Amino acid sequence: MIDTHCHLDDRQFAHDIDAVLAASVAANVNRWLLIGYDPRRWDEAITFVGSHRGMYLTLGVHPAEAPLWNADVEMQLRNLLQESGAVAIGEAGLDFYRDNAPYEVQAPAFRGQLRLAAELDVPLIIHMRDAEDELLDILAVEPTLPSLVFHSFDGTEKLMDFVLSSGSYVGVGGLATRQKSDGLRMQLARVPLDRMLLETDSPYLVPARQKDRRNQPKHVVTIATMMAEYFDTTPDALATQTTANAERLFGLNHDH
Ligand SMILES: [Zn+2]
């Protein structure tokens, strides 16, 4: 199985990354997409991915880092995407939940990355929080959209309508396993299985009922097990299908 969204270069893993990866492989989660979300840490992310077998890279500017976006960073991103073997842009998007930059700062960074992804024909992984209408407005006026992944999807019926009509992909993770996530699970049940990806967002968004609050990629299995019934399938079938989806979308091969 593949963890399509994780932050294994986070300092929470600095002391035991080898053990975390071994536990992941033992659970049959043997490939990972590391999300390089901060231009100041892209080099570090590239090195990290290069030194771990089965690790793939994305590069982007997270909405929290949007103030860093400029022509220089854009050029750097364009070059690194072509040189580093990165499989997607992201995570990028809009987030008005925290004290992030205002719309006027976040929107150009998101739009710029959307256009770069469309131009280079790579998927874009979206991070969206408390910004559904603004995000939909931006997507509605882009002439060409890249393939989109709604990482840890958390939206209303309206956003799900867009996901379905655009053929976008949806990342399902720990958030969907939580007791209070009934409304979210109702939306996710509408997603065709061939548009679903599994992800942990490690070290964040640990699934329900875990004592260790640090999330780990081995929990892709926990998520598949907890979610399969809501999608009218079995954990095994969900695993097989979501792995095939990730391979197709990101162009992953087996002997990386
Ligand atoms: Zn993330």
Annotate 142-175 with DSSP letters as a single string.
-SS---EEETT----HHHHHHHHHHT-EEEE-GG
- Render each residue's pLDDT in the chain as its tens digit; 256 residues: 999 999 999 999 999 999 999 999 999 999 999 999 999 999 999 999 999 999 999 999 999 999 999 999 999 999 999 999 999 999 999 999 978 999 999 999 999 999 999 999 999 999 999 999 999 999 999 999 999 999 999 999 999 999 999 999 999 999 999 999 999 999 999 999 999 999 999 999 999 999 999 999 999 999 999 999 999 999 999 999 999 999 999 999 765 6
> Which residues have C-beta within 8 Å of that of residue 202, sequence separation ≥ 6?
3, 6, 7, 8, 10, 13, 214, 215, 216, 217, 219
Bridging pattern class, strands 88-95 and 55-59:
parallel
* CA 6 – ligand 1 centroid, Å: 6
* CA 200 – ligand 1 centroid, Å: 9
In a domain, 255, yes or no: no
Residue 98: per-residue pLDDT: 79
DSSP state of 199: -
User: Which residues share a beta bridge with 94?
Assistant: 128
- Across the beta sheet with 124-129, what order do the strands follow? 2-6, 31-36, 55-59, 88-95, 124-129, 148-150, 169-172, 196-198
Residue 253: per-residue pLDDT: 76
Q: Where are the alpha helices (DSSP H) in the chain?
A: 17-26, 42-50, 71-83, 103-120, 132-141, 157-166, 182-188, 219-227, 235-250
In a domain, 256, yes or no: no
* CA 255 – ligand 1 centroid, Å: 25
> Which residues have C-beta within 8 Å of that of residue 169, sequence separation ≥ 6?
123, 147, 148, 149, 150, 195, 196, 197, 245, 249
Q: Residue 96 carries which side chain, given as an amino acid letter?
A: F
* CA 33 – ligand 1 centroid, Å: 10
In a domain, 100, yes or no: yes
In a domain, 122, yes or no: yes
Question: For residue 58, what is the domain's CATH number?
Answer: 3.20.20.140
| This prediction's pTM | 0.97
* CA 29 – ligand 1 centroid, Å: 18
In a domain, 28, yes or no: yes
Q: Can you give the residue range of the structural domain that contains 109?
A: 2-250
Residue 255: per-residue pLDDT: 59
Token pair 């890279």 in the structure block, residue: 57
User: Which residues share a beta bridge with 149?
Assistant: 125, 169
* CA 133 – ligand 1 centroid, Å: 21
In a domain, 161, yes or no: yes
- How far the first Cα of the chain sits from its last, in Å, is 14
Residue 14: per-residue pLDDT: 96
* CA 11 – ligand 1 centroid, Å: 14
* CA 37 – ligand 1 centroid, Å: 8
Neighbours of ion ligand 1 (CB under 5 A): 35
Residue 180: per-residue pLDDT: 96
In a domain, 243, yes or no: yes
The number of distinct structural domains making up the chain is 1
* CA 78 – ligand 1 centroid, Å: 20
Q: Residue 219 carries which side chain, given as an amino acid letter?
A: H
* CA 124 – ligand 1 centroid, Å: 13
* CA 10 – ligand 1 centroid, Å: 11
By the 8 A CB rule, do 35 and 90 touch?
A: yes
Distance between CA atoms of residues 202 and 132, nearest Å: 24
Alpha carbons within 13 A on the beta-carbon side of 95: 19
User: Which residues share a beta bridge with 198?
Assistant: 172
* CA 240 – ligand 1 centroid, Å: 23
